[in-house]
Copies of this chain bind each other. A is one copy, B any other.
Amino acid sequence: MSDGRPTKILALSGGVGGAKLACGLYAVLPPGALGVLVNTGDDFTHLGLSISPDLDTVMYTLAGVVNPETGWGRAGESWAFMEATAALGGDTWFRLGDKDLAVHVERTRRLRAGEPLGAVTAELCRRFGISCEVMPMSDDAIATLVDSDAGTLAFQDYFVRRRCAPRVRGFRFEGIETARPNPRALAWLENPDLAAIVIGPSNPFVSIAPILAVPGLRDALARRRVPLVAVSPIVGGQAIKGPAAKMMDELGIRPSAAWVAEQYGDLLDGVVIDEADRGLADTIRGPRVLVAQTVMRDAAGRARLAAEVLAFAAELRR
């Protein structure tokens, strides 16, 4: 802020892809300049514990303790709890590692004591030494439901237990009508220091749509005076990770970065598509297009994409 220009960046994120871009932004921005607004539609209670998969993926990634193989869960994890639970006949389809448990137990304890999820998340991030702000989209419970040929499924049932096998027909976000946006998210969106908003390469249906569906958040995004840029999670017609492309296919949408740009509609000032999709650039109407290497293979790749996205947003701001 030495030159008086706005410096803060708000990133919207689901799990792995959004977390990687958030991590790149975290690496290239000064301390305190990044806020990450995270989907909580995947949250659920398992074995009596409050699990927030996307918040944890973002937190573990920013803290540098994420499992580099999977992009979620913790590095060097062990599974003694899970094995003991299995031996007792307990559910093991959603695997909770021994280290990972420390977060779930602490989160559950604090939520039960009446702390809002936002405060719990902030405290966990503080303890992990994370110097940016990670925010759930809401402190209220919102549950993504998947309408499918196997019926209406809770998200983790669809995603983890059934490994995305059912064909999807649509999505609903239970509790969204009465959910209030996380007050910190609104504060970020209204902060005069905000320079840009970045939608990470996360699943449009089940990671970004729930955030945009929280009453008040979409309006606040529409009222913004700063550029909003989205990074496409679809590269060459495929999802880098997760079921986004499969979902599009089942919904009768041809998976493409161009569709992603359309999906966010007039919310978008810019879209970042992969080199592999350079040929699509001219077909995208509305937002400005940046072609970049969007597949983040390592820390350098994350930081490079983050820097390009920031430069693109700065250009759009002029």
Within 8 A of B (CB), among A250-277: none
How many Å from the CB of A91 to the closest CB on chain B? 10
Decide: A80 and B109 in contact? CB cutoff 8 A: no
Decide: B112 and A98 in contact? CB cutoff 8 A: no
**Residue in B84, B87, B108 whose beta carbon sits within 8 Å of that of A101 in the complex:** B84
Q: How large is the interface on A (under 10, 10 to 19, 20 to 34, 35 or more residues)?
A: 20 to 34
How many Å from the CB of A114 to the closest CB on chain B? 12
For A279, list chain B residues within 8 Å (CB): none
| A49 proximal to B (CB < 8 A) | yes
Decide: A88 and B48 in contact? CB cutoff 8 A: no
| A90 proximal to B (CB < 8 A) | yes
Number of identical protomers: 2
| A4 proximal to B (CB < 8 A) | no
Decide: B109 and A47 in contact? CB cutoff 8 A: yes
Within 8 A of B (CB), among A59-98: 74, 77-78, 80-81, 83-85, 87-90, 97-98
- Given known pairs A80-B98, A81-B99, A98-B78, the reply for A88 and B47 (CB within 8 Å) is no
Decide: B109 and A84 in contact? CB cutoff 8 A: no
For A78, list chain B residues within 8 Å (CB): 78, 80, 98
How many Å from the CB of A25 to the closest CB on chain B? 24
For A1, list chain B residues within 8 Å (CB): none
Q: Contact string, A94-127, partner B, CB cutoff 8 A, digits 1/0?
A: 0001111111011011001100000000001001
Decide: B49 and A88 in contact? CB cutoff 8 A: no
Interface centre among A89, A100, A105 (most CB of B within 10 A): A105
A17–B35 Cα distance when bound, in Å, is: 55
- Given known pairs A105-B47, A109-B48, A112-B48, the reply for A98 and B127 (CB within 8 Å) is no
For A100, list chain B residues within 8 Å (CB): 84
How many Å from the CB of A131 to the closest CB on chain B? 16
Q: Which residue of B lies closest to A47 (CB)?
A: B105
Decide: B98 and A84 in contact? CB cutoff 8 A: yes
Decide: B108 and A48 in contact? CB cutoff 8 A: yes
Interface centre among A47, A48, A87, A103 (most CB of B within 10 A): A48
Decide: A105 and B85 in contact? CB cutoff 8 A: yes
Which chain A residues have a beta carbon within 8 Å of chain B's beta carbons? 47-49, 74, 77-78, 80-81, 83-85, 87-90, 97-103, 105-106, 108-109, 112-113, 124, 127-128
Extra contacts, 4 of them, besides A77-B80, A81-B101 (Cβ < 8 A), are A47-B105, A47-B109, A81-B102, A98-B98
- 19 A-B pairs with CB atoms under 8 Å apart are A47-B109, A48-B106, A48-B112, A48-B113, A49-B105, A77-B80, A80-B97, A80-B98, A80-B99, A81-B99, A81-B105, A83-B99, A84-B101, A85-B106, A88-B103, A88-B127, A89-B127, A90-B102, A98-B101
Give the 3 A-B residue pairs with the shortest CB-CB distance, closest first.
A48-B109, A80-B98, A84-B102
